[in-house]
Each structure stands twice: as structure tokens, then as C-alpha cells.
Amino acid sequence: MKVELEADKCVASGQCVLAAMDVFDQDDDGIAILLADEPAVELLDDVKEAVAVCPAAAIRLVEQ
Amino acid sequence: MRRIVVVGASAAGLAAAETLRREGYDGTLTLVGDEPLAPYDRPPLSKQVLAAEWEPERLALRTADALAALNLDLRLGVAATGLELTGRTVELADGSALPYDGLIVATGVRPRRLPGEGAHVLRGIGDALALRERLTPGRRLVVVGAGFLGAEAAAVAWRLGCEVTLLEPAPVPLAHAVGAEVGEILTRAHRERGVNLRCGVAVTEVTEDGVRLADGELVDADEVLVAVGSLPNTEWLAGSGLTVGDGVVCDEYCAAAQGVYAAGDVARWHNPLFGTSMRIEHRTNAAEQGMAAARNLLAPDAGRPFAPVPYFWSDQYDMKVQAYGYLRGHDEVAVVEGGMADRRFVAAYRTGDRLTGVLAVGMPPKAIRRWRQAIAGRAAWQDAVRTEVPVTEVS
């Protein structure tokens, strides 16, 4: 699974960081940064949570 | 459970449907929406869509493939009209009836309106497109209501070159929500740019040429936007036996009755973190509550109280406002970082002896994160504001 982030949709809520701290971070403007676009399997549930809570629908999880 | 119906196909309803599938529910899943469009996102309507930076296609919450993968019985363009609680059936406007074993109510809110014809509101894609078409340079726009929605729309219209008047009944915009001092900062941001913000004026009706105030004055306008709050869509539940009172009344698990849950703008639930009943019209809450309601519906015996720290943001001119917690009814606001004068600050909110909220303007996210954690941890006010930075009390 691969994580895709549309940074220009991001509204800097930081919800993804709260859900999956090992996969997402925020820059100084709050815009989400992807730390790992192919996260380890044990992080997938956290990433799915991040996808679901992102208020901007800016994160996607795609099968490879 | 073999039949679940989710009424409301926006952020909360979609989050509920996705969570049900993610948690392994493989029965019939019906998603009902009164708009003909697939689930879309609303916050950009008063921002990027109104500014014509984004086209509506960009608002789709999921791709067609992702929606198809949910294997939904998708009923779009049809409203729910009734609920038969004992017979466990939802009635639809097209005359059909949907039996269910589990139900999630996520019917959202609609804009409150004013007497008179011809005013815009801003809730759906159609509303945003109709308004943006009229926001050409030099056009006179009156916005009734300087809440977050009205203020964002005013900021966009100003940027597009309109002559903007913003009318607000309260003496200070948003004072009830964020406190008078933060309200004053937003007020100054509008006035510095030449937006005519008038506070303490009540609008009684929309007329052909603008709006009429309570004292009889006519405020001329080419276009009027009414942004004076919203009403929960609960009429279809009348007589169903569900308790309705400014929203569908739920317990801390988001349950409104056995097998019936509510989520999103329409849900009034008991948030145990703050020990109070609340109904929250924030985008983030819609997704979180949709997920919580779905999980509790599937596993009522292992139900988890829904106890979020609410979050909202607002973009106005060059300012991004972000807030965590429950700011309403606060007793005190104190600046704990930065300063209000230069519009870079973190303000903490006290209710009783607890830290209950934090609001930041122009600050990096890491500056806010620990405050959010303190709110989630029910921090005592005295402990939370004890920092090396001197605290300025502002109210």
C-alpha cells in the first residue's frame, strides 16, 4: 500500500499527525508532510484512521 | 446485523459507511442523500470554490472507484421523510421504504434564512456557484452575519474586488464563541481592508434592493448573503419517538435509541470529556463522529464513549485561525504565547478550574499541539498556564 498526500488540499488541521505520528508531520505552516509513503504494515490501521479523519480528504491509500 | 441504513451522504455519513466496511460489516449498506451528488466536501465552498480557485469536481470526498469499492446501495437525490422506530423502517421521498437492523442518522443542517426573497445562502455546491458568479469587481455585497462562514465569504468577496458590507447583530462578532478579544482582532482585520463591518444591527428582511434593518434603515446591495447560522435537519424524525432538541439527542455513545445512532452536524450528544451535551458543526467532528457511531453500532456491548477534543479552523484574509476544545461558555481567556496585537498568538480558555480550549492565530502547529494534549488530559487551569512565558489575562 502506498500513501498519497495532496498537500495543496491540506488545511493544516494536524489530524493525520495525531492519528499516525510515524507517517505524517507538519511543516511550519501546518501543511502535512509525508514521512513514509510506504509505511510498515503495522502502521496501516493508523494511516487508515488518518485518511478517514482528514478534514480536507487530502490523503489516499492506494493499492500497488 | 444484515441491513444498515445511513441517512445523510456527506462527510459524517460517508465516514460511517467506510468505517462499517473497514470494521468488517459485509451486509447490505444503504447510503441515502438528498442531494444528487456523490459525497463532497463543504469547507472549500466559502473559500477556494467561492474564490473560483477550485472547480466543484475537486470537492469529491472519494473517487468513483473508492465509492464503488464500498459496495453501497447508494440512493442519491432522494430525501428521507420518515422513521418507523418500532418497525425499523426508513421512508424515502420516492415512496420506498428501507428496513434496517441498524441506522445512522447524519442528515446535517440547513441554513437559517430571513424573510424576503433573493438572498444567497452558502451550504451546497449550487449555492457557492450561484454566489461566485455574481462576485465581480465593484459589485456591492451585503453579508448578514459575521460568524465564521459570513466572515470567510466577506474576505473572499473583498479579494475579488467587491464592495463588502458585513452586518452583525452582536456588539462584537463571534464573542460568544471565541471571546470578545479574539472577536475584536477579526473585526480589525475586516475594517483595515475597507470592509464595512457594522455590529449591533439586526436585519429584519431581505428586500429587492438589499436588506432592511430593525430601525427601518435600508442597506443597499446588489447581492445579499445570509449567513446567520443553521438548523438541524430533524423534521423527518417527527413522531418517530427519537428525542429531538436542537439536533438528535444522543448519549455519550452517539446512540439515540437501540440500534439507532447519530453523527455530524445533526447530532447532539453528551461529550464526557467536557461533561456537557454539544452539537458541533465542524468538518473534523463529522468524520470522527461518523466513525465513532459506526463502531458503536456494530459493537454496542463494547461501546466506546465519543469524547473528542473538537477542532475547527477558519481562513480570513491572511489569517489562519485554529482552535481545539470547547470554547463556548468560557470564563476566561489568557494569551499564553505571542501577542494579539501582531496577530501571532495562542490564547487559552478557562471554564471553571479547567483548561477547556485553545485558539491560535499565525502560530506553527507544534505550538498548539501540547495545548490540545492538555485539553484531552483534562488539565487544571493552574497547571496548564504555568509556563516560563508571562500570561496576559485579557478577560
Asked whether the beta carbons of B104 and B262 are under 8 A apart, the reply is yes
Residue B269 bridge partners (DSSP): B278
Distance CA A15, CA A5 (A): 13
A61 touches chain B (CB under 8 A): no
Contact A13 B61 (CB under 8 A): no
Q: Which of residues 24-43 of A touch B (CB under 8 A)?
A: 26, 28-30
Residues in contact with B320: Cβ distance below 8 Å, sequence separation at least 6, in sequence order: A12, A30, B313, B314, B361, B362
* Strand, helix or coil for residue B374: helix
Supply the DSSP string of B195-218, one letter for each residue.
-EEEES--EEEEETTEEEETTS-E
Q: Give the H/E segment covering residue B155.
A: helix B148-159
The contacts of residue B166 (CB under 8 Å, 6+ apart) are B142, B143, B146, B150, B151, B154, B190, B195, B196, B197, B198
Q: When comparing pLDDT for B235 and A62, which is higher? A: B235
Residue B163 corresponds to which cell in the numbers above?
464592495
Q: Of the candidates B250, B298, B228, B227, which has an alpha carbon nearest to the alpha carbon of residue B106?
A: B250
Domains and CATH numbers, chain B: 3-110+230-302 (3.50.50.60), 113-226 (3.50.50.60), 318-393 (3.30.390.30)
Asked if B223 reaches chain A (Cβ–Cβ under 8 Å), the answer is no
**Structure confidence at residue B366 (pLDDT):** 78
Strand, helix or coil for residue B11: helix
Distance CA B134, CA B150 (A): 16
Cβ contact, residue pair A26, B365, below 8 Å: yes
- The neighbouring-strand residues paired with B30 are B5, B73
CB contact (8 A) between residue A12 and residue B288: no
ipTM: 0.73
Q: Which residues of B touch A12 (CB under 8 A)?
A: 313, 320, 322, 365
For chain B, which residues score pLDDT lower than 50?
Answer: 388
Q: Which of A11, A53, A57 sits opposite B313 (nearest CB)?
A: A11
A chain contacts of residue B320, beta-carbon cutoff 8 Å: 12, 30
How many CB pairs below 8 Å do chains A and B form together? Answer: 52
Whole-angstrom Cα distance, residue B29 to residue B80? 15
With 0-12 CB in 10 A as exposed, 13-18 as middle and 19+ as buried, what is B66?
Answer: middle
Chain B touched by A4 (CB under 8 Å)? no
Query: Which pLDDT does position B324 carry in this prediction?
Result: 94
On the 0-12 / 13-18 / 19+ scale of CB atoms within 10 A, B312 is buried
- Distance CA(A48)–CA(B73), nearest Å, equals 23
Residue in B closest to A19 by C-alpha: B288
Q: Going from the N-terminus, what domains does chain A have, and what CATH number goes with each?
A: 2-62 (3.30.70.20)
What average pLDDT score do residues A5-19 get?
87
Give the span between the Cα atoms of B356 and B330, in whole angstroms: 8
At B388 the pLDDT is: 46
- Residue B101 touches chain A, beta carbons under 8 Å: no
Report pLDDT for B389.
53
Please answer yes or no on whether A55 and B366 come within 8 Å at the CB atom. no
| Residue type at position B184 | E
**CA atoms within 13 Å, Cβ hemisphere of B199:** 17
What are the cell numbers at B297?
A: 453500532
Interface contact A30-B283, CB threshold 8 A:
no
If you search the block for the grid coordinates 466572515, which residue do you land on?
A: B151
How much is the mean pLDDT over chain A?
89
pTM of the model: 0.92
A24 pLDDT higher than 50 = yes
Q: What whole-number distance in Å separates Cα of residue B194 and Cα of residue B186?
A: 13
The minimum CA-CA distance between B365 and chain A, rounded to whole Å, is 5
CB count within 10 Å of CB B216 equals: 7
Helix (H, G, I), strand (E, B) or coil at B191: helix
Q: Report the pLDDT value the prediction gives residue B329, as an integer from 0 to 100.
A: 92
CB contact under 8 A, A57 and B61: yes
Q: Which residues of A touch B364 (CB under 8 A)?
A: 26, 28-30
Residue of chain A whose Cα is closest to the Cα of B44: A56
